Amino acid sequence: MYHLFLMVNHGGAPSVLADTVDRAGMSCQVGIELDQLDGSGVTSPDAVLLDMALLEQLDARRMIEECHDRKLPVLAAVPREVISAYDPSLNPDEMLVSPVSEAELTVRVGQAIFRVSGPSGRKLLKVGDLSIDQERYEVTVGGRRVALTYKEFQLLVLLASNPGRAYTREALLSQIWGYDYLGGTRTVDVHIRRLRSKVESPGHAFVETIWNVGYRFSAPT
């Protein structure tokens, strides 16, 4: 998965985004200046994520411009409560509203990478004859293109990115629909059923039901 450079303020306040990155199956290094990437032994990030809850817009603008100069994909995570004060002229490659679900963060990071790197840098997930292009939002099975809704696509990306990991219905609901979603877990079952009908065939299953728990992704044998 992706490796991010998470930028916070000079005060070193902890960022809740680091937990979201971890739950999404990505890794991150927390820092305050891009110069930290120039040291020996530092892993080059796939993208830079700005925590706008911990940054002044003037600092964020400078960091975004530096990312553009370095050809580094950059995302700005803006807290929902201050979104009305967001300055669109900051012009990151992707802007997202936090708190953000793990699945949406993963997709947005992939989209930012695609904007900067183009097709050569796009993120592909391949399991057997299943191919998931996270930047183009395209899924194919055996070369056949499959049309998925956005939620179905998010579910597939999350499960396929973490093969063998069991997810409860509650975990999938919070990660895909968000913590403030008022519907019940039944919607997870409905979307999983629709997803299966589109990507699976008899004897060719990807999503396994874990009774009394939830679901997990497994490659067909």
Q: Which domain holds residue 134?
A: 123-217
Whether residues 43 and 146 fall in one domain = no
* Six token digits for residue 50: 């700005």
Per-residue b/e over 135-150, b at no fewer than 16 CB within 10 Å? beebbebeeeebebee
Round the average pLDDT of the chain to a whole number and report it.
Answer: 85
CB 144 within 8 A of CB 151: no
Mind listing the pLDDT tens digit for each residue in 58-103?
999 999 999 999 889 999 999 999 888 888 899 999 999 999 888 8
The answer, yes or no, to whether residue 201 has pLDDT greater than 70, is yes
In this prediction, residue 183 carries a pLDDT of: 66
- Do residues 68 and 114 both lie within one domain? yes
Residue type, 197: S
Q: Residue 75's pLDDT is what? A: 95
Query: 88 and 174: one domain?
Result: no
Q: Is the CB of residue 219 less than 8 Å from the CB of residue 206? A: yes
CATH number at residue 159: 1.10.10.10
Q: 3-class SS at 207? A: strand
- pLDDT, residue 76, reads 95
Average pLDDT over residues 187-208: 91
Q: How far apart are alpha carbons 93 and 125 in whole angstroms? A: 22
Do residues 78 and 32 both lie within one domain?
yes
- Decide if pLDDT at 122 tops 60: no
Per-residue pLDDT for 42 more than 70? no
The confidence score (pLDDT) of residue 208 equals 93
CA dist 79 and 89 (Å) reads 17
